[in-house]
Structure 1
Amino acid sequence: MKVVIVEDELAASENLIFHLKSLNPDIEVIQVLDTVKSAISFFSQPQEVVLAFMDIHLADGISFEIFDKVRIDIPVIFTTAYNQYALKAFKVNSIDYLLKPIDETELSKALEQFKVQSAKEPLFDDKMSGLLQLVKNQTKTYKSTYLVSHRDQLVPLKTVNIAYLYIDMGVVKAVSKDNRSFVMDDKLEDIENELSPDQFFRANRQFIVQKESIDHVNHYFNGKLIVNTVPISKERIVVSKAKAMEFKKWLDS
């Protein structure tokens, strides 16, 4: 069975290929496409592939935009790290959607469904327009800069430069990657909702950590984790057993 993968993250595409080969060695991945543009070019030509896996967010846009330019007459399984997209409401030609990181059991179920539903109608333009509109409506804009006080100055602190945030004696502080500390005016709960969940994780009631600031993670007793950041936090950052799996999936995505 010949398939094509539309995915811009090398680790994600390699992980998917590994699971596909593990489930069925006869599956042949013809090509991995990493942009909307390359996918349009690929599907503009006659192809032998019978199934496509598409990540929703690509380097140059959203994969639903591909359907604005070219007609795709094969089933599509969408992959996404964002479970807010209600893709199940639009299963006309798509088989299923899979949440990242890809679980082999869920992938197996999707492939079985593909075998059962061999004869399917192509994706209609209005359905893809609906999907595209859904993503546009539900894609949230996250905070990129906070205006913070530092000594006698107001300093624009970019979120990409925040290593972690924490509560210190009732006061929320942000520590930058160059180890400067800034007092924040908002509550940690409000800040959490303003930051991109791709980059920031609420480790516990006291800490929010930024992915790129994490140096390593230690196993702790009772299934807990200790997060080690750069710069080093004075307080121990502990992830509970209940959140440990979610944290590891987030860090691995």
Structure 2
Amino acid sequence: MKIAIVEDEPFTKKRIQTIITQHYPHAQIVSTGQTLEELSLILGRQQEIDLLFCDLHLADGLSFDVLKVFEISIPIVFITAYDQYALQSFDHNCIDYLLKPIEEERLILALEKASKFIRDTQKPVIAPEILHQIFHGYQNKIYKQRFLAKYGNKIKLISVKDIAYFFTENSVTYLVCSGESKKYIVDYSLQELEEQLLNPLEFYRINRSSIVSLDYLQEMKPYQNGRLQLSLNSPAFTDLIVSREKVNQFKEWINK
């Protein structure tokens, strides 16, 4: 089995490679990438690939933007921290949909499923168990409801409903509540918040250092180099600027 991996997070890519090597030693990882351009190049050589592992959210945009341009002939296992794209993924030869952080057992099952499709030389179809996971498992995912946050020598329990945004400064993560002129320290990285703890329907990572809440977004206006500047109902401890590569995706998110 010849496998391609398109994933922009080094840790996740390494984990996929390790699991494949341990459990499918005869499989070959023939190509890897981390951008939409590299995904496009890989899809242009589909005849050389049996299976594609593909992150939905790459650093420069959604994989769907590239996939819809090609006639896909290979099975795809999508990898993402977001469950709201599950149904859309099956328009692109999806045989499985893995949520981050990736569980080894789930990835092995995806490999077994891909092996069966390849052996049977069948076009991938939506497996009943995957539909069951989408409608029952993924929709019931529980996100963090409150955070223990530090301010000086005090610790406060803060409901996620009161949080306007998170940001990092000097490798420290802070949260800011609506209507409060304080910034609280939390013991999570932005990556952990984005991929595991926050509901992606309510929070969005606008750049490398900030995650904002939709509930407290008041205004957005054009900023330099095609970016957007946001105003929230909260004190501004940092500039809340939507990076250029995320502007279109951000607009889609707020219009859901």
Shift in Å, 1:58 = 0.7
Matched residue, 1:175: 183
Query: In structure 1, what is the equivalent of residue 174 of structure 2?
Result: 163
* Structure 1 residues 82 and 39, CA gap change in structure 2 (3 angstroms): same
Q: Could you tell me how far apart the structure 1 residues matched to 2:5 and 2:35 are?
A: 11
Output the TM-score relative to the length of structure 2.
0.50
Find the structure with the greater CA-based Rg.
Answer: 1
The DSSP-based 3-state class of the residue aligned with 2:174 is strand
1:174 & 1:28 partners in 2: Cα distance? 52
Q: How does 1:1-253 map to 2 (within 5 A)?
A: 1-45=1-45, 47-87=47-87, 90=90, 93-118=93-118, 119-121=121-123, 159-160=166-167, 163-165=174-176, 172=180, 174-175=182-183, 197-198=193-194
Equivalence for 2:229: none
SS of the residue 2:68 aligns to: helix
Distance 1:172 1:201, change over 3 A: farther
Instruction: Write the distance in 1 (CA, Å) between the matches of 2:197 and 2:53.
Output: 28
- Matched residue type, 2:95: I
- Unaligned regions of 5+ residues in structure 1, if any? 124-156, 178-195, 203-210, 214-253
1:158/1:198 CA distance change after superposition, 3 Å: closer
| SS of equivalent residue, structure 2 residue 79 | strand
Separation in structure 2 between the aligned mates of residue 68 and residue 91 of structure 1, nearest angstrom: 9
Alignment-mate amino acid for residue 100 of structure 1: K
* Structure 2 residue aligned with 1:242: none
Work out the percentage of aligned pairs sharing the same amino acid: 32
* SS of residue paired to 1:109: helix
**Which deviates further from its counterpart, 53-62 or 81-90?**
81-90
Q: For the residues of structure 1 that align with 2:87 and 2:46, how far apart are their CA atoms?
A: 27
* One-letter code aligned to 1:77: V
Q: How many residues are aligned here?
A: 151
**Alpha-carbon distance, 1:120 to partner:** 3.2
- Per the alignment, residue 132 of structure 1 pairs with none
Would you say the 8 A contact 2:3–2:51 is kept in 1? yes
Q: Is the 8 A contact 2:7 2:13 kept in 1?
A: yes
Give the Cα separation in 2 of the matches to 1:164 and 1:50.
44
**Structure 2 SS opposite 1:5:** strand
Change (3 A) 1:174 1:31: farther
Shift of 1:89: 7.6
Give 3-state SS (helix, strand or coil) of 2:183's partner: strand
Aligned partner of 1:163: which letter?
Y
Summarize deviations over 1:157-206 as a string: whole Å, max 9, x none. Answer: 97425613579xxx8553178xxxxxxxxxxxxxxxxxx9518958xxxx
Q: 1:102 to 1:158 in 2, by over 3 A?
A: closer
Structure 1: which amino acid aligns with 2:175? Y
Q: Which amino acid aligns with 1:198?
A: E
Structure 1 pair 212–98 and aligned structure 2 pair: CA distance change class (3 A):
same
Deviations 1:73-128 (A, max 9, x none): 110000011123333882772210111111110011111112222333379xxxxx
The 8 Å contact of residues 77 and 98 in structure 2, kept in 1 or not, is answered as yes
The alignment's C-alpha RMSD in Å is 3.6
Question: Structure 2: where are the runs of 5+ without partners?
Answer: 126-163, 186-191, 199-207, 211-256
Q: CA 1:91–1:113 in 2, change beyond 3 Å: closer, same or farther? A: farther
Quick one: distance in 1 between partners of 2:43 and 2:95?
18
SS of residue in 1 equivalent to 2:167: helix
State the distance in 1 between where 2:85 and 2:115 align.
25
Q: How far off is 1:212 after superposition?
A: 7.7
Q: Please report how far the alpha carbon of residue 68 of structure 1 lies from its aligned counterpart in structure 2 after TM superposition.
A: 2.8
